[in-house]
Amino acid sequence: MKRNLATLMALAMLAAIALTVPAMAEAPAYNPDAVIYIYSTDDPTHLDPSLATDGQSTVVTGLLFNSLVGYNRDGSIFPDVAESWTVSEDGLTYAFKIRDGIKFHDGTACDAYAVEWNWNRVIPWNATPEMSYSTILFGNVAAFEATDASTFVVTLKSKDSTFLTLQGSSSLAAALLSPTAYEADPEGVDRNPVGTGPYKFVELKAGQYVRVERYDEYHRGVPTNGGVIIRIIPESSTAVSELMTGGLDYVGSLAADQVDLLRSAQGIEVITTPSQNLSILSFADYEKNPLFSDLRVRQAIREALDLEAINKALYGDAMVTAISPIPPGMQSGVRDDYVNYPYDPDHAKALLAEAGYPDGITAKLLTYNVVKGYNPAGEQLAVQIQAELAKAGINIEIQILPWGEFVEVMYKDPVEGYDLILHGWGADYFDTSNIIFLWSEAEAGGGTNNSGYINEEFEAIFKAAKESSDYNEAGDLYAQAAQKIQTDLPSIITGHGVQYTGYSPKLVNGGDLLNSVAGSHTWQLQKAD
């Protein structure tokens, strides 16, 4: 009996060990000094965040800088350099308490005075014309002051619920740069940036790489890896090959065919993040266009387009067909009950006949020749739209321009020579205002509102949403504004590009961190040898 009991106990112990071993094997074993390899398609244009506008720059500045608030992985904000804040009753004054003991990489203090110095540099009335994000991030600021080393007070021109979210743009002009480093070498700071972020800048080798190393005194904790090397790899298929052979640790913005390739490759994980972009087919300055000023004609175009089929044919699973302008990855206004005009080519023909075009119409469409996150198929999207509309008797003439020329024409006031513009937008930050503003009156006439949509009701809703301090209320208002776009049809939203990221299994917590809508949390990545 005793022997049986001993045997049973031994078996139980073996079973316990057997159960424990896999659990132990799963525990992350990582090298805290390992370097993370990522890539960018070109050298950063600027390392001074106040001048950064492109992804090649922000992929680096995002590692080096902080701002008053930061973004959680779901896009909500958390106190960063500002430990806390209070808002006055009228919603116009924000008093930030600056976290004690934060130091720039050069050892100088990042206190309220440093924040004031930075704001003085990028505030619209002092900013240079190259500081593109100055008016976006600080346009509503009336005054600011460091009242002491730990208090920074900001007064707004009008109540603005997006103000705090905007201040989380730590890779752009909201980033805090060392005043000492700047004053020592104002010109050189663009190539030798000094911030408070998790990494210190080491070197930039033109056309080759940017190297940053761990900042051990980072105020949010010591980074869990030794540094990051951003390799410059212009060709995305080369980057995918590097990922497959261990030369890169993760690659974002994968094309659909690359996703299929990586999913079939051994040892590479592919994850998706909710989209924060939108592909837009706008009716250019439609109120001034006799053809499209009639809603029935715009509706006919919408109903003649089988967007689901177009997206499936062009992108497979890499595009979500839009039911509203608000991408699924935004903070608020994401709903599934938007009312849309259905795909109905017969009704589209009837609408055209009713509007006085029984024999169909001819329209000129402008598009671009590059691949974008919101349209990985480039000009092919225009070709598909052309083919689809032809079935309903709508003849489309396509003009394809290189990106630079395309942007120049798109932002002309008024847009001349084109009836339709196929363009898109990738959100700068997570507040839904960064999507809805595209159709605001302020952006009409040479701005992003190239359809020239001016609607009082829409403006009132948008203003109320921006001023609302209630998150849910703001979300409802943004949803109302989005529904107006779907109903009034200044533009047709064709889809939201899905963001795919492939990563090496060496990144033991890659699955948790790389699916974040808030972008890189590289400093928390853990890499095994």
Partner 1 sequence: MIKYIAKRVLMAIPVIWGIVTIVFILMRVFSHNPAFLLLGQHATADKVAELTRYLGLDQPIWKQYLIYLGQLARGDLGTSLFTKQPVLTEIMERMPATIELAVFSVVISSIIGVTLGVVCAVKQNSVLDRVLQVTGLTGISLPRFWLGLMLIIAAAVRLKILPVSGRFNFMNQPETITGFMLIDCVITGDWSALGSTLRYLILPSLTIAVASIGSFMRYTRSTMLEVIRQDYIRTARAKGVAESRVVSRHALKNALIPVVTVIGMELGGLFSGSVLTETIFAWPGVGQYIVNGINNTDYAVVQSGCMLVAVIAVAMNLLIDILYGYLDPRIRY
Report residue 356: phi and psi, to 5°: 100, 15
Angle at 503 between CA 500 and CA 508, to 5 degrees: 130
Site string for partner 1, 194-233 (x = CB under 8 A): -----------xxxxx-------------------x-xxx
| Segment interacting with partner 1, rule: CB under 8 A, options 11-19, 36-44, 301-309, 490-498 | 36-44
Query: Percentage helix, strand, coil, to 5, in the chain?
Result: 35, 20, 45
Q: How far is the CB of 420 from partner 1 (least distance, A)?
A: 19
Q: Binding to partner 1 by residue 106, rule CB under 8 A?
A: no
Where do we find the tokens 């065919």?
Answer: 257
DSSP structural state of residue 449 = B
Q: How far is the CB of 242 from partner 1 (least distance, A)?
A: 5
Q: Binding to partner 1 by residue 46, rule CB under 8 A?
A: yes
Total chain residues near partner 1 (CB under 8 A): 53
Report residue 503: phi and psi, to 5°: -140, 155
- In DSSP notation, 308-359 reads HHHHHHHHTTSEEPPSSSS-TTSSS---S--------HHHHHHHHHHTT-TT
Q: Binding to partner 1 by residue 303, rule CB under 8 A?
A: no
From candidates 191, 364, 463, 521, binder to partner 1 by CB under 8 A: 191
CA distances from 64 to 105, 133, 194, 230 (A): 9, 18, 7, 13
Q: How far is the CB of 473 from partner 1 (least distance, A)?
A: 27
Cβ contacts of 294-297, under 8 Å, gap ≥ 24: 294/355, 295/488, 295/489, 296/351, 296/352, 296/354, 296/355, 297/351, 297/352, 297/355, 297/357, 297/361
Choice between 337 and 529, CB closer to partner 1: 529
Q: Is residue 284 within 8 Å of 419, Cβ to Cβ?
A: yes
Choice between 46 and 99, CB closer to partner 1: 46
Q: Binding to partner 1 by residue 236, rule CB under 8 A?
A: no
Q: Binding to partner 1 by residue 31, rule CB under 8 A?
A: no
Q: How far is the CB of 46 from partner 1 (least distance, A)?
A: 7
Q: Binding to partner 1 by residue 126, rule CB under 8 A?
A: no
In the region spanning residues 364 to 393, those forming contacts with partner 1, defined by CB under 8 A, are none
Q: Binding to partner 1 by residue 416, rule CB under 8 A?
A: no
Tokens (6 digits) for 453:
């949509």
From candidates 425, 453, 458, 523, binder to partner 1 by CB under 8 A: 425
Q: Binding to partner 1 by residue 83, rule CB under 8 A?
A: no
CA distances from 526 to 216, 243, 504 (A): 15, 17, 11
Q: Binding to partner 1 by residue 446, rule CB under 8 A?
A: yes
From candidates 93, 192, 241, 321, binder to partner 1 by CB under 8 A: 241
- Residue 158: CB atoms within 10 Å: 12
Cα–Cα distance measured from residue 460 to residue 81, given in angstroms and rounded to the nearest whole number: 34
CA of residue 110 relative to chain centroid, distance: 27
Choice between 233 and 319, CB closer to partner 1: 233
Q: How far is the CB of 410 from partner 1 (least distance, A)?
A: 9
Q: How far is the CB of 496 from partner 1 (least distance, A)?
A: 16
Q: How far is the CB of 190 from partner 1 (least distance, A)?
A: 6
Q: Is residue 483 within 8 Å of 439, Cβ to Cβ?
A: no
Tokens (6 digits) for 228:
């990051």
User: Which H helix or E strand runs over 433?
Assistant: helix 433-436
Q: How far is the CB of 75 from partner 1 (least distance, A)?
A: 19
Rule CB under 8 A: which residues touch partner 1?
A: 35, 37, 42-43, 45-46, 53-54, 128-130, 132-133, 135-136, 187, 190-191, 205-209, 229, 231-235, 237-238, 241-242, 244-245, 247, 402-405, 407-408, 411-413, 425-426, 428, 443, 445-448
